[in-house]
Homo-oligomer: A and B are copies of this chain.
Amino acid sequence: MRYSHQREAIKKTIQETNCHPTADWIYKETIKIIPNISLGTVYRNLKCLEESGDIKTIYDGNIARYDWNTEPHNHLKCKHCGDLIDIVLSDESIHPQIKQDFKFDVDLVEMTIIGTCQKHT
C-alpha cells in the first residue's frame, strides 16, 4: 500500500475524535483539510485502514461507524442522544462456556449495552 495524503488525513480525523464517527462525518471533516477529496476516497480508505488494523468498524443499527480504539472493548449506547461510550468488560469468561454448550468456537464478543447516559438524569 502506497502513501497517500488523503489516507493520512482520514486517519488523523478519526484519531482526533471520540465520537465514533460515520463515513459522512469523516468526509465533512476531512474536506476542510483536503477540499477536493471525494466520498468514494473516504470509503475506500476506511476499508484500507480497517484492513491494516488502524481502525475498527462498528455497526450502530444499520449505519457503519469507525473507531480509532482497536483494543477489545464494548459500548454503552444511550437511547436518548445516541452517544456511544467505550467500556472494557472482562467477558472472556463466556468463551469456554459457549464452546462447551454450543460447540461454537468464539473469536470475539460484540456487546452493546443500551440504556440512558448520565446526561439525562
Contact = CB atoms under 8 A, between A and B. Distances in A.
Interface of A is mostly: strand
Contacts of A103: 117-118, 121
Contact of A104 (B61, B64, B105, B118): B118
A89 interface: yes
A16 interface: no
B89 A94 contact: yes
A116 B85 CA distance: 28
A60 to B, nearest CB: 8
Contacts of A110: 111-114
With a 10 A CB-CB cut-off, give which of A64, A102, A108 has the most chain B CB atoms: A102
